[in-house]
Amino acid sequence: MKPKTFLVITAVMAFLFGIVFLLMPAKIPASHGVIADAGMKHMAQLFGSGLLALAVLSWAARNTPDSIARRAIVLSLFVYWTLGSISATLFQLTGIPNSSGWSTVVFHVPLAVVFGYFVLKHCGPIEG
């Protein structure tokens, strides 16, 4: 898969989840068995805002030729999805969310892996 294709896939996925978190902040936490109090709803909306920003970044970068800018974008997306994968996994292992909480891990890990692949194989070093 080429970086352009994966940036489009990432943009669509991040947009869809971002909209849900922003407009229905209790929906996903509740589906994971987590009580969505006012603080949780606020954090869910912040997360949704971040996902929407990643969707815009991914969509805008899809046609960017291989450059220092695209390499930096891919590297930053790799860092985000990797840290999100770690955070989601650690939270799931606490036993607080129900088994559907693993869907968050499943959402993050493939994105981290593919962006990691692009960082290592397609993007080369970031210099400048």
C-alpha–C-alpha distance, residues 36 and 21, integer Å: 12
Say whether pLDDT at 124 is over 60: no
Domain boundaries, the chain: 3-122
Counting residues of the chain whose pLDDT is more than 70, the rounded percentage is 95
**Tell me, what's the pLDDT at 67?**
81
Tell me which residue of 125, 100, 120 sits closest to 34, measured CA to CA: 100
* Identity of the amino acid at 41: K
pTM (2 d.p.):
0.84
What is the per-residue pLDDT for 70? 87
Check pLDDT > 70 for residue 58.
Answer: yes
